[in-house]
Amino acid sequence: MLDREMKKGSAELLILTLVETRPRHGYEISKLIEARSEGVLRFNVASLYPLLYRLEKRGWIKGRWIEKAGQRRRRFYRLTVEGKKVLAAQRNTWHEFVEAINRITTVENA
């Protein structure tokens, strides 16, 4: 399984990416992460929501209670303007990081 530390570091990036295209609620986000990582990454309630709240506190995502017809109300999170900037920056950082790692490990392996 992925290291806790690594998971933590990339968690923010994951969540920001997932709400980039459209607002999602917490359960949806956790299912998406599980699905797209094919089971590699899993967040439980205790780790997901504090993270969401932290991001919200920083103003990178914004949560809103939305009531759809015939359903209970749910809290949907969307990316803020600030969050978009952060996402772009973090993506760049991540890519550089990954590239750097790749270069080192590939060379090593080679």
Partner 1 sequence: MPDWKKEISRRLAGLKLAPSRESEIVEELAQHLDDRYQELLADGTSDIDAERLTIAELSENELFRELQRVERKTPPEPIVIGTNRKINMVADIWKDLRFGIRMLLKRPGFTAIAIVTLALGIGASTAIFSAVNPILFESLPYPDASQIVTISDDFGTTDSSIGMTFGTYQELVQRSRSFTAIAVARPWQPAMTGSAEPERLEGQRVSASYFQVLGVSPVLGLNFNSADDRLNGPNLVIISEGLWQRRFNGESAIVGRQVTLNGNSFTVIGVMPRAFENVLSPKAEVWTLLQYDSSLPSFEGREWGRHLRMIGRLKPGVGTEQARSELNTIARTRLPEFPRPPHASLDSGMLLTSLQDQVTRGVKPALISVLGAVVLLLLIACVNVTNLLLARGANRSGEFAMRIALGAGRNRMIRQLLTESLLLAMMGGALGLLLAEFGVRALVTLSPIELPRMMGVGVNGTVFTFALGITTLIGLGVGLIPALHASRGDLNIKLQQSSRRTAGGHQWMRRTLVIAEVSLALVLLVGAGLLFRSLSRLFAIDPGFDTSQLLTMQVQASGTRFDDEKTHRFFAQSLETIRQLPGVSAAAFSSQLPLSGELDDGYGVHFESSTDKPEDNRGAFRYAVSPGYLETMAIALRRGRFLNADDTANTPPVVLISESLARSKFQDQDPIGQRLRLGSNDGPWSTIVGVVGDVKQTSLTVSQANAVYMTTDQWRLFADRALWLVVRTRGEPGELAPAIRQAIWSVDKDQPIVRVATMDQRLTSSAAERRFALILFEAFGFVAVVLVAVGLYGVLSSSVAERTRELGVRLALGAQKRDVLYLILRQGLALTLAGVSTGLLASWAVTRLLTNLLYGVSATDPLVFGGVASLLIVVALLACYLPARRAMKVDPLVILRYE
Q: How far apart are CA 55 and CA 47, in angstroms?
A: 13
- Rounded to the nearest whole angstrom, what is the least distance from the CB of residue 46 to partner 1 in the complex? 4
The reply to whether 74 sits near partner 1 by the rule CB under 8 A is yes
The reply to whether 94 sits near partner 1 by the rule CB under 8 A is no
- Closer residue to partner 1, CB minimum distance, 45 or 98: 45
Identify the residue among 30, 33, 60, 90 touching partner 1 (CB under 8 A).
Answer: 30
The reply to whether 57 sits near partner 1 by the rule CB under 8 A is yes
Residue 24 β-bridge partners: 77
Whose CA is closest to 17, among 104, 103, 95, 97? 95
